[in-house]
Amino acid sequence: MRTRSTPPPAVPPGLPRLLGWVALPAALAVGGRLAAWRLDEGDESTAGIRRVVVLGGADLRPVHPALSRVRLDLVLAGARLDLTGVPHVPGGVDLTVRGLGYGLAVTVPAGWRVWWSHRGPGGVDFAEGEGIVHTDDERSADLRIHADVVLGGIRVDAGPQDDTWGR
């Protein structure tokens, strides 16, 4: 009597999982770059900025004296927003953040009034005692943060005012 033997598999058993673990981040990175190419607006010298960052980082230091809006869409990414180069803006600056698994560090000049609202599991951390004032009045705030957070966080710190923007 002959025993039937099965031929060895053409693909090793762990290879599909390994390829999946490599392909998923690659697809996210490519999709993020395409989204950024299509959706990014403005630069550091414009009054409105929008950035889409997926699996990476962004470092923004706006200098426009009439900056009014910054929008960040972050997925598994980190970003720094340094507003110390912006003079006091009448009407304030609106910062809208939407993201999944991200971290954002915001630096504002000492003396700015900051208001925030966030939804989702995550939050906003505020550096008390560094010259930043938390306010409950959205209209009088110098920086208004609107955040849709999923496993992410925002840290607001004070820094010295950079007066080189007008030179």
Write the pLDDT tens digit of every residue in 101-127. Answer: 999 999 998 888 899 998 888 888 887
Query: Which parts of the chain fold into alpha helices (H)?
Result: 15-39
> Residue 158, by phi and psi: left (phi above 0), alpha (psi -120 to 50) or beta?
beta
From 147, 89, 86, select the one nearest 115 (Cα to Cα): 147
pLDDT tens digits, 130-153: 778 888 888 889 999 999 989 888
Q: What is the 3-state secondary structure (H, E, C) of 103-114?
A: EEEEEEECCCEE
